[in-house]
A and B are shown apart, each in its own frame.
Chain A
Amino acid sequence: MNTESPIIKPSGLDIARIRADFPILSLPSNGKRLTFLDTAASAQKPRQVIDAESHVYEAEYANIHRGVYDLSQRATVAYDKARTKVRKFINAASDREIVFVRNATEGVNLVAQTWGRKNLKQGDQIILSEMEHHANIVPWQMLREETGLELVVIPITDSGELVWEAYEKAFTSKTRLVAMTQVSNALGTITPMAEIIKVAHSHGVPVLVDGCQAVPHMPVDVQALDADFYVFSSHKLYGPTGVGVLYAKAKILEAMPPYQGGGDMISSVTWAKTTYADIPQRFEAGTPNIAGTIALGAAIDYIESFDRQALLAHEQALLEYATERLQALNTITIYGTAREKAAVISFAIKGVHPHDVGTILDFEGIAVRAGHHCAQPVMDRFGVPATTRASFGIYNDFDDVDALIGGIAKVQEIFG
């Protein structure tokens, strides 16, 4: 068994320097070096993002789209700039196609409650996959309660890949939407999203992409994908909590009724009639998370300051190394062995419940997720109540993998 860290230095990346950007990584955890392996749940934040958010409150804060005074104008400009950064980041055609929401979950709910309510009726079908996050299941189930629509679930294979033939055959004259993840948070599977969308479009069906786990790991181009809706959260992208993005093609957004009513989303209000603002403001009622949105812009700047292919290569090297070392332990079962995977590993240790694994690893300063990962249908598919999940971000290094393997040895020492 290989117990030495391989000497792999992807081009142009200095991981030690990246780590130094994240203040929390220098704090000990249970008296040990923090080994943070729960980025898929939420990423840690670099100094640049933390500073950007506090800078807003210290020097640039006022409500946006209202005052004519200097501070309000500066806040408005910074907020609008963040929208442009997001647009460029996912290569949308126009800033008008970027709607700011609280998180990806709200993005899906917004589509379900506006586009869905308007366009879906009893008997209509939505295609999902068996590996969706609850955020891409429950909003559709709620709409099902209301409308009587039908959810068609595409199964996954033992390795955690979409059963392609089942997907191709799932379309009927009643299919109205495909809502699917680009990267599974529980299994790490990268789905063939461009092909998924191509097939859906050949049936005239639009596609909503859950991009939460994709955006932090790989460059995303919504026009190249030809996605109709695309949602992701700032907090998984090294940005602050409380901000999410819903992208939708302008012609789709224009035809959608408003989401919540209030200030900022109107064009004029009288007692007799209210007219709504143009997109995207129509979907952004009330004062938004101004500082958080501006800090999301800083997170995007931060990510884009690196060669993204090099970041991806680094994470893939970590995934490969961690998979190899885990597989060398004969007590480990890995759930999710798709050919295309992001740096997420769900696993079980024979005879030890994930919660006990999580607690013992915590003693070693190792933070992993133990549970169902908000994807209970995936757990049911593999017949386990829960798994332990290690997920990697741009700040993880090979020492983190070695620490994990060392922590698992401790688990086995206690439970062996």
Chain B
Amino acid sequence: MNDLRELYQEVILDHGRKPRNFGALPDANREAHGHNPLCGDKLDVRLKVKDGIVEDVMFEGAGCAISVASASLMTEALKGRTEAEANALFEKFHALITGEADVSLDQLEELDKLAVFSGVRDYPLRVKCATLGWHTMHAALENNGETVVTE
């Protein structure tokens, strides 16, 4: 059970059940649709970006606890950041959950709550779940309106 709790931490279960910033964002000026064909998860990420700053971000869709919680925590982490900061945070988050690079203590601090996803690195098949929202956010910032596919 210890291992399970490491993956399904209370924060993840909470955000999976009650995602924050969930719904439409009528005045969004960036948006993308994300889809994981392997499990059928679908997420829309919408952002309101002004002068290079993410003023607001919302998401909508359906997925597993990991993908919904990840998108939810992402929206909390992004508000007020610049586009460059948002993309840099995605890179750090990606490194954390894939275990591709060692994440320093400083970086862990910067990832803050997002560090709860560190358990995902032991489940390569679930990495796509944890990054679906982030990939979609990234696509929304880069190319408005594109569908992102992770599989």
Contacts and interface: CB of A to CB of B under 8 A. Distances in A.
Contacts of A356: 8, 16, 64-66
A29 interface: no
B42 interface: yes
A333 to B, nearest CB: 16
B51 interface: no
B4 A354 contact: no
Interface residues of B, number: 22
A356, A363, A371: which has the most chain B beta carbons within 10 Å?
A356
A299 B3 CA distance: 38
B132 to A, nearest CB: 11
Contacts of A385: 39-42, 62-63
A386 B39 contact: yes
Nearest to A352: B65
B2 to A, nearest CB: 10
B40 A386 contact: yes
Interface string A372-416: 100010010000011000000000000000000000001000110
Interface in B66-90: 66
A355 interface: yes
Interface string A341-378: 00000000001111110011001000000111000100
B39 A371 contact: yes
Nearest to B3: A363
A356 B62 CA distance: 13
B13 interface: yes
Interface string A3-32: 000000000000000000000000000000
B7 interface: yes
A414 B39 contact: no
Contact of A415 (B7, B41, B65, B123): B65
Contacts of A371: 38-40
A379 B42 CA distance: 14
B4 A353 contact: no
B139 interface: no
B4 A414 contact: yes
A7 to B, nearest CB: 32
B129 interface: yes
Given A355-B64, A355-B126, A359-B126, A414 B8 contact: yes
A154 B64 CA distance: 31
A355 B39 CA distance: 7
Contacts of A370: 39
Interface in B3-27: 3-5, 7-8, 13, 16-17
Contacts of B8: 356, 360, 414
A300 B5 CA distance: 44
B48 to A, nearest CB: 28
Given A386-B40, A414-B8, A415-B13, A359 B62 contact: no
Contacts of A410: 1, 4
Contacts of B64: 353-356
Given A353-B63, A356-B64, A379 B40 contact: yes
Contacts of B1: 410
Contact of A414 (B13, B126, B129): B13
A354, A372, A414: which has the most chain B beta carbons within 10 Å?
A414
A254 B62 CA distance: 50
B129 A355 contact: yes
11 contacts: A355-B39, A355-B41, A355-B64, A356-B64, A356-B66, A360-B4, A363-B3, A385-B62, A386-B39, A410-B1, A414-B4
Query: Ordered nearest first, which 10 A-B pairs have the shortest CB separation?
Result: A385-B40, A353-B64, A355-B64, A386-B40, A356-B65, A356-B64, A355-B39, A363-B4, A414-B8, A371-B39
Interface of A: 351-356, 359-360, 363, 370-372, 376, 379, 385-386, 410, 414-415
